[in-house]
Amino acid sequence: ISLQELMQTKPGANGTAVTEFILLGLVETPGLRPVVFVLFLFAYLVTVGGNLSILAAILVESKLHTPMYFFLGNLSVLDIGCITVTVPSMLGRLLSHKRTVPYAACLTQLFFFHLLVGVDCFLLTAMAYDRFLAICRPLTYSTRMSQTVQRILVAVSWACAFSNALIHTVAISTLNFCGPNVINHFYCDLPQLFQLSCSSTQLNELLLFGVGFIMAGTPLALVVTSYIHVAAAVLRIRSVEGRKKAFPTCGSHLTVVAIFYGSGIFNYMRLGSAKLSDKDKAVGIFNTVANPMLNPIIYSLRNPDVQGALWRVIKGRWSLA
């Protein structure tokens, strides 16, 4: 099928002329596609393996049966989901040499991507709140962060993220796509679809900024507020050993928060640019591949409890083998 044939428009539902999009992927050169395939397959396997290892470590190690690691376990599930929404379909297109994606499949990918990233956003906030309670309110920590509270925080995170993803998916479905249908990216996302719409996207962009401020701005403000209180409490501890004990997982969590919000802000705050460039692909790789792959590494590198649990999981597998 030629590129001209793929770009032909057909009558579709919801006033939409385009029934499929063409995802150009990461590279145009055919010779580089096998290299990209191997690299992304490796990244996918490492991410899934790393996050499953973190989950196994949390399950087998009784020391890790705490609220912080309950949230981290949920974060690992989200990381597996986030990379699974984008990378396997891209690998499939590289193998089949078919770059077309049906309109409905594109919107489905968009919905699940925003759902999982939204939950991620709220879970990072819940983890910051957990650190605040553990360090600043230690006497009431067990009651304020009971199993019921943990489950409520996770359930609320999913409910808010579901609402956000649904709002954006419904809003994008109201736009008309009647002209070009080529997306210079490897997955469907809002900035790329805004560029292709024949309708005005002004309201959609305002919605993205408005809802984004609530969905990302509020959690980020809560994270910053929590860590201001944590830093003040830690600085009041006179002994160096006491400070080290009070601040074990905060550094890892802050690193993950900085990477997550940094890449997210860069990706969605540049909607006014005339043309989306290859930089957006790089940010997309960071959002969908690097973040989920880095999280288990960041949380295990400086944490002896996680390292010990991981070692026991690996030894257990070897002994079974």
Higher pLDDT, 209 or 41: 41
pLDDT tens for 234-251 read 888 777 776 776 666 687
Q: How far is CA 213 from CA 6, 34, 128, in A?
A: 37, 40, 19
Coil, helix or strand at residue 23: strand
Per-residue confidence (pLDDT) for residue 12, from 0 to 100? 42
H/E run at residue 195? helix 190-196
The pair of three-digit structure tokens given for residue 301, joined into one six-digit string: 């590198």
CB atoms within 10 A of CB 281: 18
Report the predicted TM-score, pTM, of the whole model to 2 decimal places.
0.85
Over residues 191-198, the mean pLDDT reads 88
Which two three-digit tokens encode residue 265? Answer: 């802000």
Across the chain, what does the average pLDDT equal? 83
Sign of the C-alpha dihedral, residues 140, 143, 146, 150? negative
Neighbour count for residue 240 (Cβ, 10 Å): 8
Collapse the DSSP code of 21 into the 3-class scheme (helix H, G, I; strand E, B; otherwise coil) and give the result: strand
C-beta separation of 18 from 9 below 8 A:
yes
Helix (H, G, I), strand (E, B) or coil at 263: helix
Strands 182-183 and 100-102: unpaired
DSSP-derived 3-state class of residue 80? helix
Looking at residue 273, its pLDDT comes to 52
